Amino acid sequence: MSDRNTPLPLFDRKLVGPACLEALKKLAPQAQWKNPVMFVVYVGSILTTALWLQAVMFDEHAAPGFSLAITAWLWFTVLFANFAEALAEGRSKAQASTLRGMKHKTIAKVLQEPHYGSNWLPREADDLRKETVVLVETGDVIPLDGEVIEGVASVDESAITGESAPVIRESGGDFSSVTGGTRVLSDWLVVRVSVNAGESFLDRMISMVEGAKRRKTPNEIALTILLIGLTIVFLLVVVTLAPFSAFAVSASGTGQAVSVTALIALLVCLIPTTIGGLLSAIGVAGMSRMMQANVIATSGRAVEAAGDVDVLLLDKTGTITLGNRQASSFLPGEGTSERALAEAAQLASLEDETPEGRSIAVLAKTRFNLRQHEMATLNPMFIPFTAQTRMSGVDLTGDSGPRVIRKGAGQAIRKHIESLGGRWPEDIQLKMDEIARRGSTPLVVAENAVVLGVVELKDIVKGGIKERFAQLRRMGIKTVMITGDNRLTAAAIAAEAGVDDFLAEATPEAKLAMIRSYQSAGQLVAMTGDGTNDAPALAQADVAVAMNTGTQAAKEAGNMVDLDSNPTKLLEIVETGKQLLMTRGSLTTFSIANDVAKYFAILPAMFVTTYPQLAILNVMGLASPQSAILSAVIFNALIIVFLIPLALKGVRYRALGASALLNRNLLVYGLGGLVVPFAGIKLIDILLLATHLV
């Protein structure tokens, strides 16, 4: 999927041709009426065409050149708007075509009994239904999305995620979800299909990516209503100008009434055609940019909500910290040497394959040069870690007598010591509290009924994460860290990372309650999750990003899926959503601001023959009334073309506060919208005069 991760060029030659053809197809009335602003331009183009034909066919004294020029550029205005939308949709369809290329006809091995070793029958993947149990072995393609109910295997998900490194999928836990279209590289899996044929994640991706199926978001609908209101106002104004012009000519006895063609040109130039022509393209391009970030959004509503987020809920592990706690120091208790503590901790960690266990063995070896023990003579019996006991260790028998070594959480070791008749030392509790205040995790080591000391496991906060949280704070977004750690540990890590708040000892109920609390205060909440226990909170959050490696329940509860399964992607999603809103707001500001120059171009030109005093408003020094009107119409059409790249690429994102963004927006696009049309219309007027077209 590397092709999908590579940003598409703004004007790919392969897309321009189909977009031009699609722009012509969109001239059909049933396509035009979906955009009310451009529909007015469409109707105006038809009227000026009819007026030009009437002048050519029935008026011998008419000079139809001006009417023809106005008519042609009005049609160009409609076509340029169609082209912008078609090009954005073409980019999305190109991404969808890449996804379709991943779909292959697959034969599934349907098990007669839901367990490994049962007989199986071949069946096409298109015939599978939900709850069917299939066997997937080395080299097989997983036919449809599902949950692993037995087995463990290495799976190539590069077709979906773009990452070449294989991943492990196994039954149980948060890594049991598999995606149709991926391939098993080793071992086998028994998978219970969780969707019907045609409803797989890949099918949904294709449907979501295609811009033609995009629904308008609430913000876009509200802006459309505003644009319609402005169009109606200007339509009423222009309609009243016709009788006013006739009355003025009759009263003054000079000049001539304004033609219908000139009135239509005025209407088209005054209504917000720039943003009206680009609005749909902006929305489609926003979905496309999210896809290029390897995030699938179920709707434009989710992308838009990401730009309005007030609160971010972030998991500590893997998002704020690197994810693997590392042993950093040995803190012995009274009467125990640091070396003795390190040796016991190493013995208890020899069969511990967790990152924490391996780091303890490495620290002991590095600090005291402790090598792997000769265990055969000690008759070791290793005790694995369980969620119930919350500790692990080893039982040894040798010449010096039995040794029962345990390491684990403080409370678990305390219960173990007290059950053996031992005493819990006060200095150990003090050391644990001190470690917790530093944001680290204490791991207690005991031998028989004696507590030897504490191993400090340190969470490493990711580099640069504090600066990113500071940027979000400047934007008015509150960050909340969610962790299962105790409050002391959570408070220390939160302070080091620079988050605004934290939720310690988090449970599904606590996360859900926190989200509802923020929402009841009128705030939009975003969060990430990958487990079934995250599903309730994901379903409640306004922007819910599920990890692709997570469970099916999490992916169904979320309104976005991160194909890279990177929890920090939530920050990028918020930036993409804000970029969409900034682009829409910036181009709306520009569109409304550039109407001012058109007042100074068209209005004096229309009424100067009746009221010569209006010539003072011709601040641009335009050559003639006809040149002024035609220059404004041409600029109105061409500006859409020049703004297409900005609509597709988006306004550059800057982590600034709302007031700073507003001021910058008004300065760049408001002032730019005032200045650029004056220069553009004057330049077009000079070219028209030089080429003797008017």
Flag whether pLDDT at 516 surpasses 90. yes
Bridge-based pairing of strands 478-482 and 311-315 is parallel
CA distance 287 to 206: 12
Flag whether pLDDT at 6 surpasses 60. no
CA distance 414 to 560: 44
Other CB atoms within 10 A of residue 652 CB: 10
Flag whether pLDDT at 330 surpasses 90. yes
The average pLDDT across 610-627 equals 85
DSSP 8-class letter at 542: S
Q: What are phi and psi of 329, to 5 degrees?
A: -160, 155
Grouping H, G, I as helix, E, B as strand and the rest as coil, residue 465 is: helix
pLDDT band at 62 (very low <50, low <70, confident <90, very high): low
User: What residues contact residue 528 under an 8 Å CB cut-off, 6+ apart?
Assistant: 313, 314, 315, 319, 544, 545, 546, 547, 562, 567, 569, 570
The average pLDDT across 229-243 equals 90
CA distance 622 to 262: 16
Active site residue 315: yes
Flag whether pLDDT at 76 surpasses 90. yes
Q: What are phi and psi of 354, to 5 degrees?
A: -75, 155
Range with lowest mean pLDDT among 3-7, 70-74, 277-281: 3-7
pLDDT of residue 681: 93
Cα–Cα–Cα angle for 415, 418, 420, nearest 5°? 115
CA distance 82 to 24: 8
Determine which helix (DSSP H) or strand (DSSP E) holds 258, and give its type and residue range. Answer: none
Encode burial over 4-35: b for 16+ CB neighbours within 10 A, e otherwise: beeebeeeeeebeeebeebbeebeeeebbeeb
Beta carbons of 680 and 598 less than 8 angstroms apart? no
Alpha-carbon distances of 459 from 320, 405, 441, 481, 484, rounded to whole Å: 9, 25, 8, 14, 13
Distance of CA 277 to the CA centre of its chain: 24
Beta carbons of 485 and 447 less than 8 angstroms apart? no
The average pLDDT across 101-109 equals 72
Q: Which of the residues 315, 485, 542, 562 is marked catalytic?
A: 315
Share of the chain above pLDDT 70, in %: 88
DSSP count for the chain of H helices, then E strands? 25, 20
pLDDT of residue 96: 63
Flag whether pLDDT at 485 surpasses 50. yes
Grouping H, G, I as helix, E, B as strand and the rest as coil, residue 543 is: strand
Beta carbons of 618 and 597 less than 8 angstroms apart? no
Range with lowest mean pLDDT among 36-40, 196-200, 628-632: 196-200
DSSP 8-class letter at 317: B
User: What residues contact residue 687 under an 8 Å CB cut-off, 6+ apart?
Assistant: none
Prediction pTM value: 0.67
CA distance 328 to 455: 8
pLDDT of residue 5: 46
